[in-house]
């Protein structure tokens, strides 16, 4: 996988407003939020996109990320209503090719989203 903005955030080479971190995941505020709360939850393991998940290691990290979502949503005060979005590939709107989950909330969200 090529170097990404998120790789540099993981290594603390560029600043981010981090709201959660552990040994395998990092969550920070999106610099172009679409709602009052817009977070990006990323694995520290380099996976370019959701479509690239293949190994047991990937299953483990995705389970970990999903278990973090409600904890982070509660911490941010949006547990009652939030949206989780994962774009996989440029055609789906992915612009940074390091797998990331958007946690979005803090206002009423419309459907369909895009």
Catalytic annotation, residues: 100
Query: Which residue in 53, 31, 46 sits closest to 98, CA to CA?
Result: 46
Structure token digits, residue 56? 């047991």
Tell me the C-alpha distance between 77 and 61, whole Å. 24
């Amino acid at each position: 996988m090529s170097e990404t903005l998120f790789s540099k955030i993981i290594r603390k080479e560029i600043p981010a407003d981090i709201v959660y971190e552990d040994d395998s995941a990092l969550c920070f505020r999106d610099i172009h939020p679409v709602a009052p709360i817009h977070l990006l939850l990323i694995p520290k393991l380099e996976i370019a996109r959701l479509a690239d998940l293949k190994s047991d290691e990937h299953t483990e990290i995705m389970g970990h990320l999903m278990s973090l979502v409600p904890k982070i949503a509660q911490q941010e005060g949006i547990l009652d209503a939030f949206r989780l979005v994962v774009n996989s590939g440029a055609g789906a709107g992915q612009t940074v090719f390091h797998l990331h989950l958007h946690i979005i909330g803090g206002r009423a969200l419309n459907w369909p989203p895009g």
